[in-house]
Amino acid sequence: MDDFNSKDGRFVIENSKFSNISSENGSILNIKSLNDYNLYNSVLISNSTFENTSASKYGGVIYSLSEFTGKCITIENCEFKNNSALLGNAIYSLNKNSEPKISNIKELREIKGLVSTNPTKISIINDINNDNIISIYSGEKIPDNIKCKIFDDYDNGNINY
């Protein structure tokens, strides 16, 4: 769904099963851009199951980059089973504001790796000194023994450096 290919419309999907579907990003919903005028479009998926969907990159079920996703996309009383992706086994959003409206989002966020966002913070993961404080001055080389991990809004560790 994007602002170039959508017309005014309301899509309602109920009591359905999405299974064994794969893609690069967001096997069921791949939302790249929405604007204010897309608010007349909406997608409601309710009482449905997403099972064994996968994405080779982000969002095994849903991939969203738009801040308007939550105003256009609603997921109610749905189950997510055995979905996978590099990041966001079920849902990947640019940030929390880009997530669709999901009735059981609190439960989904508690399952590590199921809901993910773009990385938002970095943390040192090795103890090179007692305080994990590193001072690097102009002209100095960054020490080789520094290891960091990048985390998203839900503290999913994404990539080791």
DSSP letter at 128 equals S
**Three-state SS letters, 45-88:** EECCEEECCEEEEECCCEEECCCCHHHHEEEECCEEECCEEEEC
Token pair belonging to 133: 């404080």
Q: Which of 49, 45, 2 is nearest to 21 (CA)?
A: 49
- Per the CB < 8 A criterion, the answer to whether 96 and 66 are in contact is no
Domain residue extents for the chain: 1-118, 119-161
Cα 74 to its chain centre, rounded Å, is: 15
What pTM does this model have?
0.80
Token pair belonging to 132: 């994990």
Supply the pLDDT for residue 121: 84
Supply the pLDDT for residue 133: 66
pLDDT average, residue stretch 125-133: 61
Task: Write the pLDDT tens digit of every residue in 61-120.
Answer: 999 999 999 999 999 999 999 999 999 999 999 999 999 999 999 999 999 999 999 888
Q: Which of 75, 78, 66 is nearest to 39 (CA)?
A: 66
Task: Compute the distance between CA of residue 138 and CA of residue 101 in angstroms, rounded to an integer.
Answer: 47
